[in-house]
Structure 1
Amino acid sequence: MEKSILIVGAGFSGAVLAHELSTRLHNKRKIVVWDERNHVAGNCHTQRDPDTGVMIHEYGPHIFHTSNKKVWDYVNSFVPFEPFVNRVKAVFQGQIYSMPINLHTINQFFGKTFNPKEAADWIGKQADTSITEPKSFEEQAIRFLGKSIYKAFFYGYTKKQWGCEPTELPASILKRLPVRFNYNDNYYNDVYQGIPRDGYTAIIEKMFRHDNIKLELGKKYIRSEEDYRYEHIFFSGPIDQFFGYKHGRLSYRTVTFERHETEGDFQGNPVINYCDEDVPYTRIHEHKHFTPWETHEKTVFFKEFSKETTETDIPYYPKRLSGDMEILQKYEEEKKSLENISFLGRLATYRYLDMHQVIEEALEVADSYISQHN
């Protein structure tokens, strides 16, 4: 019996892998893709809102950004991307500020008119340089920004987002948010930034459009003795789920959304963060602003709430606390005894990965597999 390849997960990891294997393997195999949801694209899934016609990012905003030209050219080969600069605003005590922290934020917050050097010197005086090796998110923020900015823009928001004190979070989380001493309010530093004209789901659907790919939605993978039927299994789901949670569950944060619809323009910006701890939601995203090349009379916006992931929730953000890393190490040891099974993607590797990193990883996994089996 001719064996096939099983890919678990129809998000970017599984779609890139399926596309590459189906088009580049000389000795063609049937590529079977399972996903337990009833749609492709995972948390990047987009679709038109039936009431407003706005393209909705169903699982929260996704802005594609990368400095890897190979990845940028790759995604654009499926659906053209429109340029998009993510300019986030933040509300703190009734005032709206520019994010990430930049010269305008600093001047507004402190009531100053600093030039870049003056602002850098001012923040340098605010910073607590006695913290030489920051061990937590809080220490990292105070070490480089000082207590005032940390308390205003990071403490409350982070506590709501992660469900714990920032002292419990690793310092590495803060490294993803730049601080600038100019008026550049582009949220990202990457060379290439954009949003696909037809949405992310259109990209994934094109990746799966091949005679050798059999896509089965609403089908959950559970390890069984039947796995031998597959030449190889590529798993992009939660690694603890793969092993039946035998060493315990890894912790994630998930998000829920409260939908609202109105006429015109609700907030004038795609994303506004709410930093005050007593505001229950973390941010509001208004999706018509993610497609500025479109025109819509109505608008739809979502209040986003963060919570701990339960058995019935979709995991979003790996927390990677010390206890999680101990559990992860046990699963990593389990992996060493497996043959013909590969793990890739955010959930299977329990890492915070952006879309471009997921795609880059999937291309590397595909290259490796094809080089050994062609």
Structure 2
Amino acid sequence: MKKNVAIIGAGFSGAVIAHQLAKAGHQVEVFESRSHIAGNCYSERDAETSVMVHVYGPHIFHTDNERVWKFVNEFGEFMPFVNRVKAITNDRVFTLPINLLTINQFFNKTFRPAEAQQFLAEQGDKTIENPVTFEDQALRFVGRDLYEAFFKTYTVKQWGLQPSELPASILKRLPVRFNYDDNYFSHKYQGMPKDGYTAIVEKILNVPGITVHLSTPFKPEQKGDYDHVFYSGPIDAWFGHRDGRLPYRTLDFEVHRDQGDYQGNAVINYCDSAKPYTRITEHKHFSPWEQHEGTLCYFEYSRQCEEGDTPYYPIRLARDKVQLEKYVKLAQDEPNVTFIGRLGTYRYLDMDVTIDEALKVADKFLACATENAPMPAFVIDPLA
């Protein structure tokens, strides 16, 4: 039976679900409050330099998921790209993630891998048996010197919180390598869309049965006009923030244009307090197959998200769990609405995970439609 579906948000979550449902014969309307598609992955050519700009900050595609990689490659050519991040601390430049070169440079050594591993183990604080906080995790596994040089101040700038207030799980995503591999990611597939992310999303949405409404907010009271609604906005906003606003970090970008090459690399982190920004991203280096005389950089600042700001990173502290649980319960009691994506499930998601989950949500909806069964509010548990 053909369903009439509304999807709120034209980022990857909404676009992928819209694509899959429309291909299966359902009628889909996509509502986007912004004036463009692609959400925070939106990219466009800078009018002055012709550089392809990641307008809401850099996005590098990386995944081990075969289905996701095949899916995105249906809609555009992905060029090889390896993210090689540099870090400046105490007026010295290092490579990230921490690897054998970083360790040898920082400590002025010439360690072989086994020697570096033993040395770092000796630096770690063995009195911390079960790391609970970000600070515990860093001190236990890399020691105080590396922690203070690369993580402590950067974390305060990025999250607005002391590392002792953040969960250890945040640091567990950052690897330490005992070789000279400075590829920031370790996934099988890594790349950058040749024509930008906006072109990819545009093609994903280019399916008969999909209508896109830009600059058109969707109100919860409109849900009765549709058989089902998929919502990728902030979960607390759907319910009018009745239990308070869930905390996010947002980003401000100071744009700098120049001639030539500004910093010689796509991403350089500023890990100490000498600079107020967390990093500088030079966007021409995200498209190394192109040549541009001019250049464009983002000086990136992180701060607490306020009303009217663009939410980027859910903070998800332990003290926020009770508040999130209330919204999850409200969502589960909301008929014919499924909450999706980073904002709808209040979880930090990379692009590949976002697309994978969107494909699974679409699979679930199509199965439910076939069986005439109700669609759940969440396909992926946001409290897990």
Q: TM-score range by the shorter chain?
A: over 0.9
**In structure 2, which of residues 256, 262, 275 is the aligned counterpart of residue 266 of structure 1?**
262
Q: Which residue of 1 aligns with 2:379?
A: none
What does residue range 192-271 of structure 1 map to in structure 2 within 5 Å? 192-224=189-221, 226-271=222-267
Amino acid in the other structure paired with 1:72: W
What does residue range 316-327 of structure 1 map to in structure 2 within 5 Å? 316-327=312-323
Amino acid in the other structure paired with 2:124: A
Q: Which residue of 2 aligns with 1:369?
A: 365
2:92 is equivalent to residue 95 of structure 1: yes
**SS state at 1:307 partner:** strand
Q: Which residue of 2 aligns with 1:179?
A: 176
Q: Which residue of 1 aligns with 2:299?
A: 303
Query: Separation in 1 of the partners of 2:349 and 2:290?
Result: 29
Query: Separation in 1 of the partners of 2:124 and 2:276?
Result: 29
**In structure 1, which of residues 71, 74, 79 is the aligned counterpart of residue 76 of structure 2?**
79
Q: Which residue of 2 aligns with 1:110?
A: 107
**In structure 2, which of residues 29, 32, 35 is the aligned counterpart of residue 35 of structure 1?**
32
**SS state at 1:360 partner:** helix
Query: Separation in 2 of the partners of 1:3 and 1:233?
Result: 11
Q: Which residue of 1 aligns with 2:380?
A: none
Moved more, 331-340 or 289-298: 331-340
Indicate the RMSD between aligned Cα atoms, in angstroms: 1.0
CA deviation string 1:281-321 (max 9, x = no partner): 00000000000110001111110000100001000001001
Q: Which residue of 1 aligns with 2:284?
A: 288
Query: Separation in 1 of the partners of 2:291 and 2:225?
Result: 50
Moved more, 145-154 or 28-37: 28-37
**SS state at 1:323 partner:** helix
Query: Separation in 1 of the partners of 2:298 and 2:219?
Result: 34
Query: Separation in 2 of the partners of 1:8 and 1:99?
Result: 37
Moved more, 351-360 or 321-330: 321-330
Displacement, 1:336? 2.0
Check conservation: 1:3, 1:229, Cα contact below 8 A: no
Displacement, 1:372? 2.1
**In structure 1, which of residues 328, 332, 337 is the aligned counterpart of residue 333 of structure 2?**
337
**SS state at 1:206 partner:** helix
**SS state at 1:306 partner:** strand
Q: Which residue of 2 aligns with 1:21?
A: 21
Check conservation: 1:280, 1:305, Cα contact below 8 A: yes
CA deviation string 1:244-292 (max 9, x = no partner): 1011111000101011111110100000000012410000000000001
CA deviation string 1:34-60 (max 9, x = no partner): 111111111100000000000000011
**SS state at 2:202 partner:** helix
Query: Separation in 1 of the partners of 2:332 and 2:39?
Result: 27
Query: Separation in 2 of the partners of 1:324 and 1:315?
Result: 16
Displacement, 1:335? 1.7
**SS state at 1:184 partner:** coil
Amino acid in the other structure paired with 2:42: H
Query: Separation in 2 of the partners of 1:129 and 1:37?
Result: 50
Amino acid in the other structure paired with 1:127: G
Query: Separation in 2 of the partners of 1:75 and 1:223?
Result: 31
What is the TM-score of this pair, normalised by structure 1? 0.97
Query: Separation in 2 of the partners of 1:336 and 1:199?
Result: 36
What is the TM-score of this pair, normalised by structure 2? 0.95
Check conservation: 1:34, 1:216, Cα contact below 8 A: yes
Amino acid in the other structure paired with 1:84: F
Amino acid in the other structure paired with 1:114: F
2:187 is equivalent to residue 190 of structure 1: yes
Displacement, 1:175? 1.3
Query: Separation in 1 of the partners of 2:67 and 2:331?
Result: 30
**SS state at 1:52 partner:** coil
Query: Separation in 2 of the partners of 1:44 and 1:301?
Result: 17
Unaligned regions of 5+ residues in structure 1, if any?
none
Unaligned regions of 5+ residues in structure 2, if any?
371-384
Query: Separation in 2 of the partners of 1:176 and 1:200?
Result: 25
Displacement, 1:229? 1.4
Give the paired residue count.
369
**SS state at 2:301 partner:** strand
What does residue range 100-179 of structure 1 map to in structure 2 within 5 Å? 100-179=97-176
Query: Separation in 2 of the partners of 1:321 and 1:34?
Result: 31
Displacement, 1:160? 0.1
Give runs of ≥4 in structure 1 deviating > 4 Å: none
Q: Which residue of 2 aligns with 1:70?
A: 67
2:12 is equivalent to residue 12 of structure 1: yes
Query: Separation in 2 of the partners of 1:278 and 1:240?
Result: 37
Query: Separation in 2 of the partners of 1:3 and 1:372?
Result: 11
Amino acid in the other structure paired with 1:155: K
Displacement, 1:75? 0.3
Query: Separation in 1 of the partners of 2:329 and 2:64?
Result: 33
